[in-house]
Amino acid sequence: MLHMPQKHKATVPDSTLRMEMNALGEEQADNAKARELHWKPLSWLRTLRPTTANDAWDQPLWETFVCTTLGLEVPVLASLPRRNQRAPALCGCKKHGMDLYGDHTSTCTAHSGATKAHDWAVGVLGPLFRSAGHVVRSQHQVTASAGKRRGDVEVRNYLHDAAGSRSLVFDLSITHDRFGASTHVQQNGSLKHPQDLGAPLRIAAQRKINSYRQKYADNQKFLFLPAIMTTSSRMHDEFLRLLSLQAHRETTAHFDATELPSQQTRSDNAFRFKRAAFCMGLKSKVGLVTAKASALRINLNFQGCSVVAPSPHAPSHDPLLLTLLLSHNIPLPRVH
């Protein structure tokens, strides 16, 4: 149920990206059906190919992902010593036992696994938005809001309106679909909102909006967007819109780099097909990162830090590497 496909409207009035998405919608015929965006939580598995260290999985991490996805006991948790041979090992929060399905470990904030996994995910996601030539800052390099808080990723001059260029700041959160740290222990392990699977995403997004949006808006040069996923790889609609817009930017950059007139080809299938390919690539990257970060939240507490976040500094690139960037680091075929 958690892994069923999602469908969202491409344009809604309260979206941070409403102007950009409205502009993309103007390309459609007047009588066309309102554009929709689609997301399949496990679709990234079709394109799984460990071309980089960030894409690779070690066996314990893969076991954790598979078991949490299928609702089975997680081996790294099942191997922990139990109290009195029955009760699960006590968490570092001293309030709950470590259940064998990872629900408590995925919700408890007392351990360091959640922070390390989050920082790794931010370090991988941020560079994806450099592919169309934008300057990207992450974590401590992000411009602080009026409230002195910082989002996770800042994409410089990403958006444009009547007031000019504005930078986009987004903050990542991976929330859990089930109770895992409830004081009502009988709730732990059950879905938080069984009748509304989108509720955890909306609640987490609203929490981010309350913390950041107005404080960044006070600067007048920044707009804020919540980037929310769940541990089952469900995606909030605003994050999906951002990926769709980024795919459009990448497609335009691709046609510019190949000296093909993107404006003329947008009415043809070539532009749409290329945009769909870039969008699929972005979705696959984000899906993999989310799944791996969710598994890391559990494993890092028992196996130590097995990943290192990439450097937040943008490397210098020769213009000839643009195609490689646009392909999200997938190696180009060699010419013999």
What single letter denotes the amino acid at residue 234? R
Nearest partner of 169 among 233, 113, 230, 122, judged by Cα: 122
Residues in the chain: 336
Average pLDDT of the chain is 85
Total Cβ atoms within 10 A of residue 155: 22
In this structure, the number of other CB atoms found within 10 A of the CB of residue 238 comes to: 22
Rg for the chain (alpha carbons), in Å?
21
Name the phi and psi angles at 170, rounded to 5. Answer: -125, 150
Structure tokens of 208?
């981010």
- Which band of pLDDT confidence, cut at 50, 70 and 90, is reported for residue 267? low
* Domain ranges within the chain, ordered by starting residue: 51-313
What percent of the chain has a predicted confidence (pLDDT) above 70? 83
More confident residue, 324 or 242: 242
Taking the C-alpha atoms of residue 300 and residue 293, their distance in angstroms, rounded to an integer, is 10
Q: How far is CA 14 from CA 25, 35, 197, 237, 246, in A?
A: 16, 16, 21, 12, 19
129 CB neighbour count, 10 Å cutoff: 24
- Angle 102-121-225 from CA coordinates, rounded to 5°: 105
State the residue for tokens 């609640």: 203
Q: Confidence band (pLDDT; 50, 70, 90) for 336?
A: very low
Q: CA dist 120 to 109, 192, 281, 290, Å?
A: 17, 26, 19, 10
pLDDT of 306 above 60? no
CA distance 172 to 328: 20
The average pLDDT across 197-217 equals 96
Which of these ranges, 9-18, 61-70, 314-323, has the smallest mean pLDDT? 314-323
Report the distance separating Cα 290 and Cα 117, nearest Å. 9
User: How far, in Å, CA of 325 to CA of 332, rounded?
Assistant: 11
* Residues 240-257 pLDDT 10s: 999 999 999 999 888 888
Distance CA 320, CA 128 (A): 18
Spatial CA neighbour of 150 closest among 141, 163, 158, 160: 141
Question: 76 - beta bridge partners?
Answer: none
Cβ 170 vs Cβ 225: under 8 Å: yes
CB 180 within 8 A of CB 106: yes
pLDDT of residue 200: 97
Place of tokens 């819109």: 241
pLDDT tens digits for range 47-89:
887 677 888 899 999 999 999 999 999 999 998 887 666 667 7
pLDDT tens-digit series, residues 111-140: 778 899 999 999 999 999 998 889 999 999
pTM for this one?
Answer: 0.87
User: Are 176 and 230 within 8 A, CB to CB?
Assistant: yes
Predicted confidence (pLDDT) at residue 154 exceeds the cutoff of 50? yes
Distance from first CA to last CA of the chain, Å, rounded? Answer: 48
Per-residue pLDDT, 138: 96
